[in-house]
Amino acid sequence: MRRLVIVSNRVAEPERQAAGGLAVCILDGLLERGGVWFGWSGDIVADESGIGVSCTRRDNVTVVTMPLTERDYAEYYLGYCNAALWPVHHYRLDLARFTQENTEAYRRVNERFAEELAPILTKTDVVWAHDYHLIALAAGLRSRGVRNRLGFFLHIPFPPPDVLMAVPEHEWLVDSFLQYDVIGFQTKMDQSNFCRFVCEHAGGEMISDDTLRAGGRIVTVSAFPVGINVDAFAEMASSAEAQKRIRWLHRCGEPRLNIIGVDRLDYTKGLPDRFRSFKRFLELHPENCKAATLMQIAPPTREEVKAYCDIRHELEALSGEINGQFGDFDWTPVRYVHRSVPRDTLAALYRGSQIGLVTPLRDGMNLVAKEYIAAQDPENPGVLILSRFAGAAEDLQEALIVNPYDVDEVAQAIHKAVIMPLEERKQRHAALLAKIREHDACNWMASFLRALDAPPIPM
Ligand code: GDG
């Protein structure tokens, strides 16, 4: 089997298990097959004189990392990746900021990744790059003579052509995508948005359902929905330790109805609208006052970007307002935790909650939805309320699917979940569980690698 080289903006350290299902699965796959994980170490150095790669080894995995300079961090990571590509790909053109410096930095860092990676590749390696930080990596490798099979997976949505066109250098970005041999998206909709752009604006043509001919190349373009390690998560949620945590949760105020939300504090996750929907639910169904609590775990993220400070202030004001208006000496309606909590605590919180509220305004997939399902007791499962704009909704139709912008609709869905009979909850949960098993983390990885390992399609 050919050696696998994974490239991502950040490398998850093998020793740190906290990185989440995806990183764990990538690591499991790498450990099984043997290979290299290449990316940013997370360190920031003053200038380019401090840049050099370092190498560590664990079993048959070599981890190769390099730092970013302060300027790269500001212009490439915060600037282009997170204040230009991230908002555009999440349909938030109002928040997108474009500058020539940031675009240049994106090209520069992708070139540098290619420059450091090319010499350590052997002719038979397969390379799998991840996410929007590294769209231009393949072009950098190709210009250095690399002819290996190169794959790319986009974890975030791919917008329709007229949204993408807001990026000044959108043609360059799409040409860069086409230097890969296999391009994976989370959903069929993302796949179709990309193919539409290539066929309508870049002179490409589809030669089969998942094969594009464009710019003198043949590229496989397909949907590979990301998943979680279902059994490991279910085990964590049903352990004796988790039961202890759930009892503890119930002692802290004894909510009879716990609604859980878990999201990085990102404007794409729809948290202010979620809080407003919970408020509306209390207004429309006041019999739930003193019984219902919305527990929102929202660890900080990208705080140096202004839009992220704004969303934090908005959410703090909203939780204060709801607690002030509805709360009482013996009841706090919104419990808002603005920090990261350990993964096993999350699993216990999911299991101890009767409703999982997952209402992003736009999301590539959303693993929280899948974790919530995996964590439930199949004999007495909770109800998942899921935004139609999460990639997960393409498959998980047995959830209560909602429009996250419609505060009344989400409030009514909460009510529907509260009164849902046990039999219906069990049926919906069984169907959802079967689906997340079918598309679990290991199937995701295996199906992408099958496409990448396949022989090239002749022109
Ligand atoms: C991107 C795409 C796509 C959250 N808070 C804590 C914590 N988490 C964990 C969750 C989950 C993960 O982080 C979040 O995954 P999501 O999928 O919900 O969202 P993004 O971070 O935006 O991820 C997304 C994903 O990539 C994979 O392709 O699904 O659409 O945007 O695992 O549990 N983990 C811990 N403490 C927390 O406080 N330990």
pLDDT digits (tens, 9 = 90+) for 270-306: 999 999 999 999 999 999 999 999 999 999 988 888 8
Q: Where are the domains of the chain?
A: 4-223, 230-438
Residues with a CB atom less than 6 Å from ligand 1: 18, 20-22, 155-156, 226, 262, 264, 297, 299, 340-343, 346, 363-368, 371
Burial of 46 (0-12, 13-18, 19+ CB in 10 A): exposed
User: Which ligand 1 atom sits nearest the alpha carbon of residue 18?
Assistant: 39
pLDDT of the residue at 19: 41
User: Which position has the higher pLDDT, 9 or 255?
Assistant: 9
Count of all residues that appear for the chain in the document: 459
Catalytic residue IDs: 155, 363
Ligand 1 centroid–CA 22 distance in Å is: 9
pLDDT of the residue at 320: 97
**Which residue is closest in CA terms to ligand 1's atom 23?**
366
4-223 and 230-438 agree in CATH topology:
yes
pLDDT of the residue at 307: 87
pLDDT of the residue at 246: 82
pLDDT of the residue at 223: 98
Ligand 1 centroid–CA 123 distance in Å is: 35
Residue with tokens 């860069």: 176
Note the pLDDT tens digit of each residue in 366-418: 999 999 999 999 999 999 999 999 999 999 999 999 999 999 999 999 999 99
Note the pLDDT tens digit of each residue in 169-199: 999 999 999 999 999 999 999 999 999 999 9
**CB count, 10 Å around CB of 267?**
22
Read off the pLDDT band of 250 (50, 70, 90).
confident
Ligand 1 centroid–CA 299 distance in Å is: 10
The 3 state secondary structure assigned to the chain is: CCCEEEEEEECCCCCCHHHCHHHHHHHHHHHHHCEEEEEEEEEEECCHHHCCCEEEEECCEEEEEEEEEHHHHHHHHHHHHHHHHHHHHCCCHHHCCCCHHHHHHHHHHHHHHHHHHHHHCCCCCEEEEECHHHCCHHHHHHCCCCCCCEEEECCCCCCCHHHHCCCCCHHHHHHHHCCCCEEEECCHHHHHHHHHHHHHHCCCEEEECCEEEECCEEEEEEECCCCCCHHHHHHHHHCHHHHHHHHHHHHCCCCCEEEEEECCCCHHHCHHHHHHHHHHHHHHCHHHCCCEEEEEECCCCCCCCHHHHHHHHHHHHHHHHHHHHHCECCECCEEEECCCCCHHHHHHHHHCCCEEEECCCCECCCHHHHHHHHHCCCCCCCEEEEECCEHHHHCCCCCEEECCCCHHHHHHHHHHHHHCCHHHHHHHHHHHHHHHHHCCHHHHHHHHHHHHHCCCCCC
Q: What is the mean pLDDT of residues 43-65?
A: 90
Read off the pLDDT band of 90 (50, 70, 90).
very high
Q: Reply yes or no on whether the pLDDT at 131 is more than 80.
A: yes
Note the pLDDT tens digit of each residue in 329-354: 989 999 999 999 999 999 999 999 99
Ranking 104-108, 249-253, 401-405 by mean pLDDT, the lowest is 249-253
pLDDT of the residue at 17: 46
Class of domain 4-223: alpha beta
Ligand 1 centroid–CA 199 distance in Å is: 32
**Which residue is closest in CA terms to ligand 1's atom 26?**
155
Ranking 5-14, 52-61, 345-354, 432-441 by mean pLDDT, the lowest is 5-14
**Which residue is closest in CA terms to ligand 1's atom 35?**
343
pLDDT of the residue at 224: 97
pLDDT of the residue at 254: 58
Read off the pLDDT band of 59 (50, 70, 90).
confident
Ligand 1 centroid–CA 204 distance in Å is: 34
Which of 131, 262, 344 has most ligand 1 atoms within 8 Å of its beta carbon, as the pocket-test mutant? 262
Note the pLDDT tens digit of each residue in 151-174: 999 999 999 999 999 999 999 999
**Which residue is closest in CA terms to ligand 1's atom 27?**
155
User: Which ligand 1 atom sits nearest the alpha carbon of residue 21?
Assistant: 32
The mean pLDDT of the chain is 93
Percentage of the chain surpassing pLDDT 90? Answer: 83
CATH code for the domain defined by 230-438: 3.40.50.2000
